[in-house]
Amino acid sequence: MMGGKYGLSSSLSNLPAKHRLKILDACAGAAVASIGHGDQRVVAAVTKQMTQLSYHHTSRLTNRAAEALAHKLVGHRPGGLSHAVFLSSGSEANESAIKLARQYWVEVGEPERVHIISRNGSYHGNSIGCVSLTGIPNRRKHFLPLLMPHTSQISPCYSYRYQKEGESDAEYAERCAAELEQEILRVGEGKVAAFYAETIVGASAGNIVPVPGYFEAIRRVCDKYGVLLVLDEVMCGMGRTGKMHCWEWEGVTPDIQTIGKGLNGGYQALSAVLISEKVIAVLRNGSGSFTNGQTFQSHPSAAAAGLAVQTIFESDNVIENCAKRGKEVRPPSYSTY
């Protein structure tokens, strides 16, 4: 996680210095403040953007700030991800990703694929669609009658609790993937649109790292049944594990990915859906657009903040620093992450 020189010290109140309380914002708020507070380079970039184009609706035209950020994030096509949609929160990104997975199958010509499988113990956001995928009973209980009907949850890959005595990592990964396969077959072949997972589970349990080979095994099952793999990296992505994308650790790439939080370090409200060329190609050859839109999407000053923060990631070696500092706090049993 972000730390070291990027941790924040601040003083509270107007008390004399000797009475002031120093707080180290080591968890960066809700895992957001990825470069610390008050960086003048971001302030300057956002101010400049606001004096040039403070708001713009992208129903007809795009804007340069959003294009520049998209170029930065997916211009080099990481893992085949080639396009970005910018929203204002992780929940909105996941809501859009749910819709995208659905639209993909409609355009492919398999509209009966409506079901989404996610995992117990995962958090995907605040909106009804996101709560439908979230596997935390407390977050669901009041809203159960409102939730999307075509969803179900399988076990997480949580070796501390669920890996059996004497079971190897490879065997445990295969057992988890077999559960996904059983669930796909229970719902019905050709009925499942997507499998949805946090690459590292964050908010609900705190840094649950899958065993090596887990996502490889999951990807194999997804491919066998044509199910899209959606990775929610709203919390674990954007450099927090010492690589830009958490999936880079295993090299298993998603069809759709969501990001937020550390993307622009909280200087503005910003999140994104990153979309693979495979999914884009279907939309391009079909209706030609993603049926999704809201007033503040691709907001220019949020995008300008995002670009400034991403540039600082590079110039200040933020992600390398995470990798280095992460090793200092990593439990010895986490062999690959």
Ligand X SMILES: Cc1ncc(COP(=O)(O)O)c(C=O)c1O
Residue closest to 97 by CA, chosen among 234, 224, 245, 209 = 234
Q: Which is nearer to ligand X, 91 or 163 (CB)?
A: 91
* 156 part of the interface to ligand X, by CB under 6 A: no
Contact code string over 56-75 relative to ligand X, x by CB under 6 A: --------------------
CB of 15 to ligand X, least distance (A): 33
Token duo for residue 241: 């594990």
Taking the complex as a whole, how short is the minimal distance between the CB of residue 220 and ligand X, in angstroms?
A: 24
The minimum distance between CB 249 and ligand X, in angstroms, equals 16
**Min. distance of Cβ 228 from ligand X in angstroms?**
17
- Backbone region of residue 265 per phi and psi (left: phi > 0; alpha: psi in -120 to 50; beta: other values): left
Asked if residues 253 and 276 have their Cβ atoms less than 8 Å apart, the reply is yes
C-beta closer to ligand X: residue 107 or 202: 202
Alpha-carbon span 177 to 220, nearest angstrom: 8
308: amino acid identity, one letter: A
Work out how close the CB of 12 gets to ligand X at its nearest, in angstroms, rounded to a whole number. Answer: 25
**Token digits of residue 290:** 């993603």
- Spatial contact of 276 and 292, defined as CB atoms under 8 Å apart: no
Structure tokens at 334: 């986490």
Q: List the one residue from 95, 181, 198, 255 that touches ligand X (CB under 6 A).
A: 198
Residues 319, 245 contacting (CB under 8 angstroms): no
CB closer to ligand X, 235 vs 274: 235
Contact 37, 271 (CB under 8 A): no
Report how many residues bind ligand X under the rule CB under 6 A. 16
Write the interaction track for ligand X spanning residues 218-257; mark x where CB under 6 A is met and - where it is not.
--------------x-xx----------------------
77-136 residues near ligand X, rule: CB under 6 A: 89-91, 94, 123-126
Q: Please, which residue, 143 or 190, has the CB nearer to ligand X?
A: 143
Cα–Cα dist 62/170, whole Å: 46
Nearer to ligand X, 22 or 142 (CB): 142
Please state, in angstroms and as integers, the Cα–Cα distance from residue 163 to each residue in 156, 158, 176, 196, 209, following that order.
11, 7, 10, 21, 13
Binding-site ranges for ligand X (CB under 6 A): 30, 89-91, 94, 123-126, 198, 202-203, 232, 234-235, 260
